[in-house]
């Protein structure tokens, strides 16, 4: 099935939305990417509809149809009756004219084939041979039963789908024709691959793209017909509304994958009998098909549009030859090995679910129960990390481990300056007995709020800001970081009291050393001055004595 619905790997963001909506969990996760498991897929298209990144894409049939249109054989379009919901206001004759401009030889309504199908349903119900009859019009329902309820394949009506019946009718009248079905469904592409009556399938989105590229706009001209009751087929309950219901059965409508599975479970248990069930994989039937839901999601208005387009009488169409519209559906084996209980418990233990009360069954991983998730892990379809409670618990433990063992104090404050979290180091530093004593309280109770205000309102950096907190008799160095995404302020605290005391002690020693040096210098200066004074007096006396001696010597030389 994978060739009809593909994954654009680069766009997958690992959000798990597809697996949450997949009714059969046919998606495998590997390398943080979602991969469609083709053997298990029923092509309901829910993953395509809900993917927020548009990572799922339908296999494009446009080029194949263009090849047919350029070939020698006439190409006839079989248009599903839900077209009036997608192309609102456009009547079939107008739409057929647009298709002819595109190159189709002609266009007909698939509702013609639906008329043939409802006749066979009436005959089958009138015979009353089966206990439970499930309509076979929805290929996704057919795949669901064939793959996941193989024992109920006998409950599926062997009547062909309207698409197949109309293709047979066209080729009966025009043996050389190529038939292209146009509708809102992905699974029709798979169904056509098993049929000889349908040569290609286009979705409404694909044909709209072809018309747009060719510059063709269908005229908004309605064309209600008296003979068009089968146009009701794409609405919920529309099949039954077209039938003349024989007695003997309870007639009911079941749509939506979850409701279909619930009904099938009841049938498998033997809780439902003598019922004729119109069953559709899409909630709201074909007018809420994946293409409609993705691009034209307005189910109430579309229901009204389709109902108003339907007339009170059946299309006039000759029956096909006996047996042509009947074929027996066959089961499709889906490999599924049930792991041992000890293996399941081992995976549950890795997810932190060691007791039954740990199994929350929250469904955020996409699986209904933790056990289903554990089995998916063992099948290689899921990863343990897909469990949100597990991830949250792991993240919380990791965060708490960091906070509890961080040597620095950590105080987390919200943008209203209220304390959200305090780690043990900060509690010890700020004399907090219990975290609950300050959690939710204004930060001013434990720290100066001005640095927090500067960071949040004034966009200032506060890094390694030291201050003395008299109430704690401590010097604290604080760095504050604003996490704008989480709307919190994180304060990192460091007790620098010892550093400050050591620094102050060193400063005091330095001051004392300077004072001592000043005193020594002053004393030395006094000594120097005293010595200089003494030296000055001695020098003067020496000078006088030497002068006198010089004069005496001079006098002797002159004989005076």
pLDDT string in tens for the chain (560-residue length): 447 887 776 677 778 888 889 999 998 887 778 888 889 999 999 988 988 888 888 889 999 999 999 999 999 999 999 999 999 889 999 999 999 999 999 999 999 999 999 999 999 999 999 999 999 999 999 999 999 999 999 999 999 999 999 999 999 999 999 999 999 999 999 999 999 999 999 999 999 999 999 999 998 887 778 889 999 999 999 999 999 999 999 999 999 999 999 999 999 999 999 999 999 999 999 999 888 877 777 889 999 999 999 999 999 999 999 889 998 889 998 877 788 888 888 888 888 788 887 778 787 777 888 888 888 888 878 777 777 776 666 666 777 777 778 888 999 999 999 999 999 999 999 999 998 999 999 999 999 999 999 999 988 889 999 999 989 999 999 999 999 888 999 999 999 998 888 888 888 887 887 787 778 778 877 887 777 677 666 666 666 666 666 666 666 655 55
Give the pair of three-digit tokens for residue 325: 């519209």
446 plus 400 within the same structural domain: no
Q: Answer whether residue 508 is part of any domain.
A: no
267 plus 135 within the same structural domain: yes
Q: Which of 296, 63, 90, 374 is nearest to 202 (CA)?
A: 63
* CATH code for position 149: 3.40.50
Q: For 475-505, b where at least 16 C-beta lie within 10 A, e where not — what string?
A: bbbbbbebeeeeeebbbbbbbbbeebeeeee
Cβ atoms 55, 80 nearer than 8 A: no
Q: Answer whether residue 542 is part of any domain.
A: no
Q: Answer whether residue 469 is part of any domain.
A: yes
37 plus 170 within the same structural domain: no
186 plus 213 within the same structural domain: yes
237 plus 170 within the same structural domain: yes
258 plus 386 within the same structural domain: no
Q: What length does the chain have?
A: 560
Cβ atoms 38, 185 nearer than 8 A: no
Q: DSSP secondary-structure letter at 458?
A: S
DSSP codes of every residue in 367-418: SSSHHHHHHHHHTTS--GGG-HHHHHHHHHHHHHHHHHH-SSEEEEEETTSB
Domain boundary among 404, 431, 454: 404
Q: Answer whether residue 533 is part of any domain.
A: no
The number of domains in the chain is: 4
Which range of residues forms the domain containing residue 380? 337-404
- Non-local CB neighbours of 406 within 8 Å, separated by 6+ positions: 423, 425
Task: Tell me the C-alpha distance between 106 and 76, whole Å.
Answer: 5
Q: Answer whether residue 512 is part of any domain.
A: no
Cβ atoms 216, 102 nearer than 8 A: yes
Q: Which of 404, 446, 452, 412 is nearest to 429 (CA)?
A: 446
Helices 204-213, 62-69: crossing angle, 10 deg rounding = 60
Task: Tell me the C-alpha distance between 536 and 543, whole Å.
Answer: 11
The model's pTM: 0.73
380 plus 461 within the same structural domain: no
Q: Answer whether residue 330 is part of any domain.
A: no
Domain boundary among 22, 37, 59: 59
163 plus 305 within the same structural domain: yes
430 plus 450 within the same structural domain: yes
* CATH code for position 44: 3.30.70.20
400 plus 255 within the same structural domain: no
Q: Answer whether residue 517 is part of any domain.
A: no
Structural element, H or E, at residue 75: strand 75-79
97 plus 215 within the same structural domain: yes
Q: Answer whether residue 329 is part of any domain.
A: no
DSSP codes of every residue in 35-65: EE-TTT-----HHHHH-TT--EEEPP-HHHH
Domain boundary among 495, 518, 536: 495
How would you classify residue 486: left for phi > 0, otherwise alpha for psi between -120 and 50, otherwise beta? alpha
* CATH code for position 341: 1.10.15
Task: Tell me the C-alpha distance between 527 and 546, whole Å.
Answer: 28
Task: Tell me the C-alpha distance between 128 and 121, whole Å.
Answer: 11
Q: For 352-377, b where at least 16 C-beta lie within 10 A, e where not — what string?
A: ebeeeeebeeeeebbbeebbbbbbbb
254 plus 383 within the same structural domain: no
């Amino acid at each position: 099935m994978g060739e009809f619905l593909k994954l654009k790997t680069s766009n997958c963001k690992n959000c798990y939305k597809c697996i949450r909506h997949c009714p059969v969990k046919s998606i495998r996760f590997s390398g943080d990417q979602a991969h469609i498991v083709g053997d298990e897929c029923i092509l309901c298209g829910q993953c395509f509809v809900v993917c927020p990144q548009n990572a799922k894409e339908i296999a494009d049939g446009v080029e194949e149809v263009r090849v047919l249109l350029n070939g020698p054989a006439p190409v006839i379009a079989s248009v599903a009756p839900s077209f009036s919901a997608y192309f609102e206001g456009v009547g079939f004759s107008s739409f057929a004219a647009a298709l002819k401009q595109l190159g189709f030889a002609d266009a007909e309504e698939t509702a013609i084939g639906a008329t043939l199908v409802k006749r066979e349903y009436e005959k089958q119900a009138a015979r009353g041979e089966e206990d439970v009859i499930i309509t076979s019009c929805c290929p996704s329902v057919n795949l669901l039963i064939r793959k996941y309820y193989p024992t109920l394949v006998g409950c599926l009506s062997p009547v062909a789908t309207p698409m197949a019946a109309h293709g047979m009718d066209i080729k009966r009248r025009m043996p050389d024709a190529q038939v292209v079905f146009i509708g809102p469904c992905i699974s029709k592409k798979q169904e056509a691959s098993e049929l000889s009556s349908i040569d290609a399938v286009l979705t409404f989105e694909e044909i709209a793209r072809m018309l747009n590229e060719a510059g063709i706009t269908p005229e908004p001209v309605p064309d209600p017909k008296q003979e068009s009751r089968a146009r009701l087929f794409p609405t919920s309950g529309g099949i039954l509304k077209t039938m003349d219901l024989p007695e003997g059965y309870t007639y009911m409508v079941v749509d939506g994958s979850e409701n279909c599975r619930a009904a099938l479970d009841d049938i498998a248990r033997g809780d439902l009998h003598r019922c004729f069930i119109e069953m559709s994989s899409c909630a709201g039937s074909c007018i809420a098909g994946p293409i409609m839901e993705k691009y034209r999601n307005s189910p109430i208005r579309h229901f009204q549009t389709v109902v108003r387009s339907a007339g009170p009488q059946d299309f006039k169409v000759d029956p096909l030859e006996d047996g042509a519209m009947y074929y027996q559906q066959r089961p499709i084996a889906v490999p599924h090995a049930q792991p041992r209980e000890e293996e399941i418990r081992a995976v549950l233990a890795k997810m932190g679910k060691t007791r039954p009360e740990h199994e929350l069954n929250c469904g955020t991983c996409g699986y209904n129960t933790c056990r289903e998730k554990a089995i998916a892990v063992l099948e290689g379809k899921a990863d343990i990390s897909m469990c949100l409670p597990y991830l949250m618990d792991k993240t919380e433990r990791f965060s708490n481990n960091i906070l509890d063992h961080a040597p620095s104090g950590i105080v987390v404050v919200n943008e209203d300056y209220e304390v959200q979290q305090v780690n043990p180091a900060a509690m010890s530093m700020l004399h907090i007995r219990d975290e609950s004593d300050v959690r939710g309280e204004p930060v001013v109770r434990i720290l100066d709020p001005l640095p927090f205000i500067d960071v949040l309102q004034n966009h200032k950096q506060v890094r390694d800001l030291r201050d003395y907190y008299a109430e704690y008799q401590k010097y604290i160095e604080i760095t504050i970081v604003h996490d704008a995404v989480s709307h919190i302020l994180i304060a990192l605290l460091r007790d620098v009291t010892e550093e400050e005391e050591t620094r102050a002690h060193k400063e005091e020693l330095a001051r004392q050393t300077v004072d001592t040096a000043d005193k020594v210098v002053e004393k030395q200066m006094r000594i120097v001055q005293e010595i200089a004074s003494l030296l000055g007096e001695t020098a003067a006396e020496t000078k006088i004595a030497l002068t006198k001696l010089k004069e005496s010597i001079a006098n002797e030389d002159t004989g005076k």
